[in-house]
Each structure stands twice: as C-alpha cells, then as structure tokens.
Structure 1
Amino acid sequence: MDKYEEFMALTSQAIGILKDMSKRSPYDMASDGMARKTAKSFTTLADVLFGPTDSPRLQRESVALAEDRGLSLEYLEMVEKDAKKLQKRDVRLGRVVDGLRTISITDTQRRITDLEKTLDAAVENDNDRPRSEALLEPFWDLVESTGTGLIRPEYRTVIAIGLDDFAKVSCGKGEDVVVALSDGTTMTGAEFINAAMEGSLGDKLYVGLFHPTAGPVNLYEARFASDKLRTLAMAENLVCPWPDCNVPADRCQVHHIDAHKHGGYTKPSNLTMLCKYHNGVNDDDGPRKKRKRPSPGKPKRGRMRRHRGKVRLHTPGGKLVENTHHVSSMGAMDLI
C-alpha cells in the first residue's frame, strides 16, 4: 500500500479519529503542531458527535451511520457547517417518525431565555429525570394554558456592570452600554433602566468587591457556598469558564477550584461556576504531596485554576486557556 492508499484508508476512519480527539484539548493539539484553528474545528466537531447532548439516541444513531458509511472528516465538517446556517427565526416541524414529531424554534436570545426560565421554574425540584425530559410537560402546560403565558422573571440573575458604565446608565447616557447577565445573555443600558423601573431588578441591589489579582473578596468560610458567595461567583463568571462552553452561570454549579476534600476553602477566591458536565470532568485529584496547602497536581482532562485573578483552564499540556464566549469577557473581573 503506497502513501496515497494509506491516506484514502485513513479518511474512512474519521469517526475513530474524532473519538480520540474528543479526549484531547485543542490547545494541546495545537502545541503538537496542528494549526490552532484546525484543532478547534476538529474538537468542536468531535464534541458534537461525542460530547454531552440533549438527544443521546440521535447522537448515537448519527455516529453509527457515519461510521458505517465511512464518511470523511471533510464530509462531516460540511454537514456541520450546513447545519449551522439554520439561524433564521422560525418554527420548524419535523415529519412523523414512529408516532413522534419534532418542533424546533429559533428566535431572539431574550424570548428563548424567558421561555427557558418559565419551564425551569416548573421543574426546579425535579432532579430524577434528564432536563430535556423534565421540560416537556411544563412546555405543553404553557402552550395549552389560558393563563398569562411567559414568566417575566425578576433578575435574581446576576448583572455585571462596571462603575463607569453604571454612572453613564444612571445619568441616562448609557444608550451604547451593554451589560452581561449570568443567564448567558446581554442587555443594553436602556433595557437595564427599564427593568429597574418595572421592578424586575427586585428591591435590593448587591455590590461585589473584586481584587484585580485575588478575585472576589469576602471573609466568610463554610462547606457549602452561601447565596452571597454564589452571587459573587456568578458575577465573576457569567458563563461556565471552561473554554468554548456557553452554559450560563444560572444553570451552573458552584465549584471549588482547590477541591474541598483536599483542603480547599469555601471562600470567594477559591470558588467559580462550572456547568454540570465540566464540573464532572474537571480533574480534582492527580498526584499530591502532603502539605498544608492543597497542591494542584498534574491535570488529566484539565482543571480550573485561578491565575492572576482570573479563572482559566489548566490543560493537561500545561497551558492556561480562558473561555472566549462574548459574555465570559464581560464578568466582574473584566470590569476592573
């Protein structure tokens, strides 16, 4: 078999290659010599096929079909690229398959997020089922009800705003000010004022104190994060800080950067918000020496670390990488 034949044989093994790529960081792949843009493209595709999903059965069937047909990386990238083009605001109704149909809604971030919060409010204490299943009945209750419809929630959601921008908004000069929320969306200065006038911000406004290098400042310590500590952590990281993750802080879990089981304190500088998936894959262990202060150890999949005040992913290859999500760069530490 010459090199061309080896190459053609390799192209039919795209699924196996992507499965192995799903276990690696794109930043470490880039350090191995692959172009960073290419590495991100491949790992993003790998995450679609092997990462967390609301439709695991459909994902398994797609992977099996692609493997059975020996589809190439180029073909799979083309399919994913075409799928991303479906961005226009609409409602799509799928055909009937085995007695089931699918409905897909694409609309503005604000309307979809309000819908999500409305459904979440009905399943707040339902932890036994996958979230996608638990949301189904509340969705139909909302559609079939004759009530008031969508919840217009008070913003217990955290809003991060710098002092300069707050001064502009307060003086009515914040038309161009954009603030970020821990539900993963943004709000203009005008919308901020309207929310305050409508009472959507609640009867209390909380102020968090952040140090440029140490992060959130507080004196409380406890095993579980209090509401105050959680609010500080949300204000700092409005979305999960793991690179390329877009789960908003409202749906994240409080995470100890230095694991509590290894002596990590429950204080603001040792807390961050991670989505359920990344909180699970974060490497809390690794080789440790006996010492008074917890040692970070060498990461496997990667672990969160505070570096120069900001929370970043410490990759297995030793790189420190931050999330580039547009809301992630608008948290409290970025306003200092």
Structure 2
Amino acid sequence: MDKYEEFMALTSQAIGILKDMSKRSPYDMASDGMARKTAKNFTQLADVLFGPTDSPRLQRESVALAEDRGLSLEYLEMVEKHAKKLQKRDVRLGRVVDGLRTISITDTQRRITDLEKTLDAAVENDNDRPRSEALLEPFWDLVESTGTGLIRPEYRTVIAIGLDDFAKVSCGKGEDVVVALSDGTTMTGAEFINAAMEGSLGDKLYVGLFHPTAGPVNLYEARFASDKLRTLAMAENLVCPWPDCNVPADRCQVHHIDAHKHGGYTKPSNLTMLCKYHNGVNDDDGPRKKRKRPSPGKPKRGRMRRHRGKVRLHTPGGKLVENTHHVSSMGAMDLI
C-alpha cells in the first residue's frame, strides 16, 4: 500500500479520529502542528458527536451510521454545517467590539417581514439616512413600549476597579479610566459616576480583597458559595475563564477548582466562574490515588487550575492557557 492508499484508508476512519480528538484540547493539537482554526473546527465537530447532548440515542445512531459508511472528516463537517442552517430560529448576541454589539434574529419569514413593515412605517419620511440606520431607533422604541420594556434592575453585576482608579474616579479625574463588568462589557469612569449618582449601583458597596498570588482572600467554609463568595469569584473572572469563551460572569455558575466531592474547599481561592457548558465538560476526576488528599491527576478534556494566583485551563497536554477575551484581562487579579 503506497502513501496515497494509506491516506484514502485513513479518511474512512473519521469517527475513530474524532473520538480520539474529543479527549484532547485544540490548544494541545495546535502545539502538535495543526492549525489552531482547524483544531477548533475538529474539536467542535467531536463535541457534537461525542460530547454532552439532549438526544443521546440520536447521537449514538448518527455515530454508528457515519462509522458504518466510512464517512470522511470533510463530509461530516459539511453535514454539520448544513444541519445548523435547517429551520433554526434563534436570537444570537455577538461579542462587544469597540463598545458596539450585534444582535441577530432568525425566525419565520412572516414574523420577520411583519417586524420590518412595522419599523418601516416609523421611518417613512426619513430619507436622509441609510435605511439600516433609520430603523434602529424605531426598533428600540418598539421594544421599550411593549409590556414592561427593557429590564433595568439595580446592579447585581460586579464592577472591577482598582483602588488607584477608584480614587481618580471619585475625585472626578477618571475621564480616561475604563473598568470592566461581569456582564461582559466595559464602562468609562464618567459612566461609573453617573450610574452611582442615579442610584443604579444599589445602596451598598462591597470591597473584595485579593492577594497577588493566592487570589481572592477569605476564610469561610460552606458547601454552596454564598453571595459574598460568588461576588468575589465574579470580580476575579468577569467572563468565563475557559479560553475563547465569551459568556459573562453574570450568566456563569460558581465552580470548585478542586472538586468538592474530592475534598475541595468552598473558599475564595478554590472558586471561579464557569459557563454552564464548560462547567459540565471540565474534568473533575482523572486518575486518582487512594489517599487522604487525592492527586489531581492528568486532565482529559482539560480542567481549570489556579496558577500563580490566576485561573487558567490546564490542557490534557499540560499547557496552561488563559482566556484572551478583552474583559477577561480586566478582572480583579489584573488590577493588583
């Protein structure tokens, strides 16, 4: 068998290849020489076929069928790409870029067209601006006039600000100060002061104490994280710290870095925020020796680990990778 024949034989083993990829991190695969984008595409496809799912029976049948027919990686990628487009109705919220954010709505043609006509009626005589710009204000008018409109609660969101910057802002000298929030956005020092003046920051101010290498400092012990512990964890990680994740801490779950079931304490240095998905795939177990304080073992999919004070992903290949989201680098541990 020559190299071409070996290659063709390998293409029919896509399911086996993806099964092995499902146990690896895209960052380790990239370090082995695979393009990072390609590695992410393959691990995402592996997640579809072997990761958590609401339809395990359908997943098993799909894997068996693909394996029986010897489908290639390229073919499986094409099927997944087109499957995503079929009758998918949803609302997607994009990442913040230069202070702007995008919302995308996919629904039936009738509902979207009726919305379009409603907005058009409000801009019938506005010919000075492009239509896409003219539709924006009528859209928000429509949203805010229906029912209770937009929800504007008192801030439960954590605002991470260093002591020096807080002093500047408090003295009215923080025009250039930019602080990050656990909803994945940022605000200027002026916006911070305005929010405080309007009472939207609430009537209480909480101060978190962080050590440069140990992380958040506290001595409380409990099974579930209290509001205070959750707030400290959010202040440290304003978005899910898993690399490339953009879910803000407001929508994350409190995660024990050393699993509670294996003796991990509920204390600030052992807590972080993870989105529901990454909290589920984080490898809490791994090989463990029978002793009083089990060894963390080698991660499979990867697990969160605190290293030199900061929470990072410990990949199966032993690399420590941090999230590069712009708000992720503005948390409490980055302010000291």
The sequence identity of aligned pairs, in percent, is 99
Aligned partner of residue 20 in structure 2, secondary structure:
helix
Displacement of 1:303 after TM fit? 1.2
Give the stretch that moved more between structures: 254-263 or 63-72. 63-72
Aligned partner of residue 166 in structure 1, secondary structure:
helix
Change (3 A) 1:191 1:219: same
Q: Quote the Cα distance in structure 2 between the aligned partners of 1:109 and 1:64.
A: 36
Q: Quote the Cα distance in structure 2 between the aligned partners of 1:294 and 1:130.
A: 63
Task: Give CA deviations for 1:218-240 in whole Å, capped at 9, x if unaligned.
Answer: 12111111100110011111111
Displacement of 1:326 after TM fit? 1.3
Change (3 A) 1:302 1:98: closer
Displacement of 1:250 after TM fit? 1.1
Displacement of 1:315 after TM fit? 1.3
Displacement of 1:256 after TM fit? 1.1
Displacement of 1:166 after TM fit? 1.6
- Structure of higher CA gyration radius: 2
Give the stretch that moved more between structures: 54-63 or 274-283. 54-63
Q: Quote the Cα distance in structure 2 between the aligned partners of 1:179 and 1:50.
A: 39
Displacement of 1:158 after TM fit? 0.6
Change (3 A) 1:287 1:78: closer
Report if the CA contact (8 A) 2:225-2:266 is conserved: yes
Change (3 A) 1:16 1:253: same
Give the stretch that moved more between structures: 295-304 or 93-102. 93-102
Q: Quote the Cα distance in structure 2 between the aligned partners of 1:92 and 1:159.
A: 25
- Stretches of structure 2 that go unaligned for 5 or more consecutive residues are none
Task: Give aligned pairs, total.
Answer: 336
Report if the CA contact (8 A) 1:245-1:323 is conserved: yes
Task: Give CA deviations for 1:285-305 in whole Å, capped at 9, x if unaligned.
Answer: 222234443421221211111
Task: Give CA deviations for 1:146-202 in whole Å, capped at 9, x if unaligned.
Answer: 444101222111111112222222232323322111112222222212211111110
Q: Quote the Cα distance in structure 1 between the aligned partners of 2:201 and 2:32.
A: 48
TM-score by length of 2: 0.69
Change (3 A) 1:289 1:19: closer
Change (3 A) 1:235 1:63: farther
Q: Quote the Cα distance in structure 1 between the aligned partners of 2:124 and 2:255.
A: 20
Change (3 A) 1:211 1:144: closer
Report if the CA contact (8 A) 1:264-1:294 is conserved: no
Q: Quote the Cα distance in structure 1 between the aligned partners of 2:130 and 2:297.
A: 33
Displacement of 1:145 after TM fit? 7.0
CA RMSD of aligned residues (A): 11.4
Aligned to 2:198: 198
Give the stretch that moved more between structures: 232-241 or 48-57. 48-57
TM-score by length of 1: 0.69
Q: Quote the Cα distance in structure 2 between the aligned partners of 1:127 and 1:294.
A: 69
- Stretches of structure 1 that go unaligned for 5 or more consecutive residues are none
Report if the CA contact (8 A) 1:117-1:151 is conserved: no
